[in-house]
Amino acid sequence: MRSSKFSGRQYLFRGLQGTEPVTLKYYNWDSEVSAAATKKLIENYQAKNPNVKVESVTLVPGNSLETLKKLDVTMSSGEQVDVVLFPSVEETIARSAQGVLAPLDDFYKKDNINPDDEYYINPRYKGKTYAAMSNSSNWLVLFNEDALKAANLPAPTFGWTWDDFRDYAKKLTKGDGVGKQYGTYFHTWGEYTNMIAYTDKKNPYLTAELKPQFDDPSFKQFFEMRKAMEKDDKSAKPLSDVIGGKLSYVSEYLSGKAAMMITGSFMLANIGDTKKYPHEFKTIAAPLPRPSKDSDPGLTNIGGQYAAIAQSSKHKDEAYKFIRYMTTEQEARVETSGWKKADATALVEKLYGANKNLIDLPSVTTTLYDKKVKTSVSSDIAVSYGSQLKKVMEDGMSKFLLDGAPIEEVQKWMMTEGDKIIKQNTK
């Protein structure tokens, strides 16, 4: 693959010809851990490309949303911005629509690259590709192995269903009061309102015609499952407690208060932090359940982070080459890769191998990288107002669980709100 050979020799040759050194400014929201990884990434890149200096600019450490607010101001102020990192397809598309990002298509064409062969998701707006997937966050189910053994349950494999999930939650629930172990835990995010929409639909909120799809039967199925698990089975912590207590999904699982949890692979890094989250049980990974036994196994929700070039950058060639490096390299990585050609087993061993007593590595590798794993999501349907539609899902679940509104009424309300948001954003 030609793209994997953009080497330091080219930059060194240019340097010998008298080319001025180039400085790239890379904007992100690095935490302490990811900042160390970024430092290593940049050092490795600069060693191979001595004519390029990369400056990491962390706007709000550990907070992507606040970073984006500051980034928008920075990009409109005329300050140098070359490479930017985004936390979702929607946020990437929003800036693409604003015209502040440069498309990558000509760069890919020049390197004879098909991005769909390279990355799980490629954010596109009006037919053009605007970012490369840096990190992927495949969704999966994590299990407390001790809880599984106590309930005499095997770890699920591809093909288990949401009915099975509910049954597992009931069997994993034990105790009462403060010390109760719930079978599972649902956080407040939109993904937890209808995971089927995130696995089986091209877009969780919209049809291919860009109409709201909150009337899809899967919303009724998932909303009613959530209610039954909370009210009847008492196997899931009530949403009122989650909101009222401002609970941490990480703490709920790693403290043993929830025996299993739907989450993204971003959660795995927390398992090894026993200083912050002391625990001794081993975690086993399993694929997301399917709507029915007849459903295609392996479908999952794949989120991620995306690297893009600022339209205002005066060094787009260099920015592109840095993006290709940061999205395909494996040495400095502290999160799972969005690059399809990464060595899955080696990457999982590198990321989590030091925690073999806490993480079952074979189940993680299989769950994340088995050939069955895929996503239905199409970035062609991603819209700049996706976060607004996601909030409709979250508010709809609150109306259903907290206010006791009938599901038909809730779905009708969600459809109306979805229509309003679409009209406001497509005038």
- The answer on 365 and 345 residing in a single domain is no
The first and second tokens of residue 237, run together, are 């912590």
In terms of residue numbers, what domain contains 35?
Answer: 2-136+304-353
Q: What is the largest CA-CA distance in the chain?
A: 74
Q: What is the pLDDT of residue 426?
A: 86
**Rounded to an integer, what distance in angstroms lies between the CA atom of residue 251 and that of residue 242?**
12
Q: What is the pLDDT of residue 115?
A: 96
Q: What is the pLDDT of residue 351?
A: 93
- The answer on 255 and 148 residing in a single domain is yes
pLDDT in tens, the chain (427 residues): 344 434 343 434 344 344 678 999 999 999 888 899 999 999 999 999 999 999 999 999 989 989 999 999 999 999 999 999 999 888 999 899 899 999 999 999 999 999 999 999 999 998 999 999 999 999 999 999 999 999 999 999 999 999 999 999 999 999 999 899 999 999 999 999 999 999 999 999 999 999 999 999 999 999 999 999 999 999 999 999 999 999 999 999 999 999 999 999 999 989 999 999 999 999 999 999 999 999 999 999 998 999 999 999 999 999 999 999 999 999 999 889 999 999 999 999 999 999 999 999 999 999 999 989 988 888 778 787 888 999 999 999 999 999 999 999 999 999 999 999 999 998 7
- The answer on 375 and 420 residing in a single domain is yes
Q: What is the pLDDT of residue 419?
A: 97
Q: What is the CATH number of the domain that holds 197?
A: 3.40.190.10
pTM, to two decimals: 0.85
- The answer on 103 and 117 residing in a single domain is yes
**Rounded to an integer, what distance in angstroms lies between the CA atom of residue 275 and that of residue 304?**
27
- The answer on 188 and 64 residing in a single domain is no
- The answer on 337 and 247 residing in a single domain is no
- The answer on 283 and 196 residing in a single domain is yes
Q: What is the pLDDT of residue 379?
A: 76
Q: What are phi and psi of 87, to 5 degrees?
A: -90, -5
Q: Are 365 and 344 in contact (CB under 8 A)?
A: yes
- The answer on 210 and 344 residing in a single domain is no
Q: What is the pLDDT of residue 19?
A: 65
Domain count, the chain: 2
Q: What is the pLDDT of residue 8?
A: 40
